[in-house]
Structure 1
Amino acid sequence: MTTEPSFEQKVQELWDREQIRQCLVRYCRGVDRFDRDLILSAFHPDCLDEHGKFVGTPEEFVDWALGQHGAAHLSHQHCLLNQTVELDGDTAHAETYFMFVCMNRKGKPLTLGGGRYVDRLEKREGAWRIAARVTLRDWSMMDEIPDMDDLTSFTSTRAILPQEVKDFMNAGRGPVRGPEDPSYDRPLKVDPARREGYLAMMRQTEKA
């Protein structure tokens, strides 16, 4: 027999879900406003974020992301769409669809694309923050049909990516139409080997 959750339990679940949503909103607003502290407030310090051609800590991610956006774009928006959240005590797994729009400094005036933030969040000292993230790109406005097995296909800089970066990206995980998709991982983890591979790739490209 299934026990009906109490009123207090229902309220707590709604509050947890809202705090998780607000965590993702803080992240997007922080990136769009170049607000370093606001971005970092969405992550636990020991988080690893696998974000396309980047894998690293929140501090490193802020430097990388703001550097990329500042160099390539005049302005941009990260918009949140569908979100599913599975709660298990002080741990949650969330899949949040996003769409981003960028006004470019060079080339085509506008870049439009979308994907998903796949997150494991943890509530520590009463605060929900991201403990692990895999960012997946699902689509982009393109002039030709992409190779879905090539994870560099959806990047706005794909034409100028060094081969080392392309190889690194394609050794990672991409979107899958099925239970092999990272959104099904329980618990979601970022392989530390991907972090080491990222550092090695960066050393290699710096020497080139």
Structure 2
Amino acid sequence: MADTDRLAQLERKLQYLMDRSDILDCIARNARGCDRHDSDVLNSSYHADGTDEHGVVISAGDTYSDYANMVHAASCQQNLHNITTHSCEIDGDEAHAESYVIGLFLAPDGLTGRLIAGRYVDRLERRDGAWKIALRRSTVDVLLVGDASVVNEQFFKDMGYLKGMRDKTDASYQRPLTLEETPGDRW
């Protein structure tokens, strides 16, 4: 194989790896935006003319954060979206991805929690060099409700864990990250 052929092959492989990484970063950014109620971060994962389908609710990409933040604020005091298995097919500037998601939601009363396992089925497009969601369809494959009252027990509160915040007071925004006390709550 000629050096130019090997170089071209390496460039294709590198582009594929960069695209996969950018796509997974976009999907992770979406989950983080949901959990921190950060509309800017959440909206940055969609093209402005993108579409999100969550059941019968269909939202425009540039306004999906309004819906997500409202639902999460009304239905739970904490939420975490965990992206697990991820597959992706890339064809030029278009990609189709399937990302398994496990959502954990602490009820407003702090006594029960929901676990929702499903998948995000996405069509992403690279525009102006940036991969973003053009269409997201969400599935729910498992839904469980369980006892979450342990977070109210004194032994747990005495452990002093940071509580995730739904705004920029969350420790993940602290730069540089230090052991200095950040605004926000502990359990």
* TM superposition score normalised by structure 1: 0.64
The equivalent of 1:97 in structure 2 is 100
Q: 1:53 aligns with which of 53, 56, 72?
A: 56
Give the Å deviation of 1:136: 0.7
RMSD, aligned CA: 1.8
Give the Å deviation of 1:90: 0.5
Is 2:115 aligned against 1:112? yes
Give the CA deviation at 1:142. 5.3
Q: Partner amino acid for 2:21?
A: E
CA contact (8 A) 2:76 2:105 kept: yes
Seq. identity, %: 38
Deviation at 1:107, TM superposition (A): 8.3
Unaligned segments of structure 1, at least 5 residues: 144-208
- One-letter code of the match for 2:115? L
Q: Which structure shows the bigger proportion of residues in strand conformation?
A: 2
Equivalent pairs counted in the alignment come to 141
SS at match of 1:111: strand
Equivalences for residues 17-96 of structure 1 within 5 A: 17-96=20-99
Corresponding residue for residue 130 of structure 1: 133
CA distance in 2, matches of 1:131, 1:99: 22
Contact 2:122 2:134 in 1 (8 A): yes
Deviation at 1:8, TM superposition (A): 0.8
* Kept in 2: contact 1:72–1:106 (CA 8 A): no
Displacement of 1:59: 3.1
The CA distance in 1 between the partners of 2:84 and 2:12, in whole Å, is 26
Regions of 4+ moved over 2 Å? none
Helix, strand or coil: the match of 1:93? strand
Contact 1:46 1:57 survives alignment (8 Å): yes
Aligned residue type for 2:131:
W
- The CA deviation at 1:60 is 2.9
Mark the structure with the bigger radius of gyration.
Answer: 2
Letter in 2 for 1:84: S
Question: Structure 2 residue aligned with 1:7, among 7, 10, 14?
Answer: 10
Which is further off, 10-19 or 100-109? 100-109
| Consecutive unaligned residues in structure 2, runs of 5 or more | 147-187
- Deviation at 1:108? 5.2
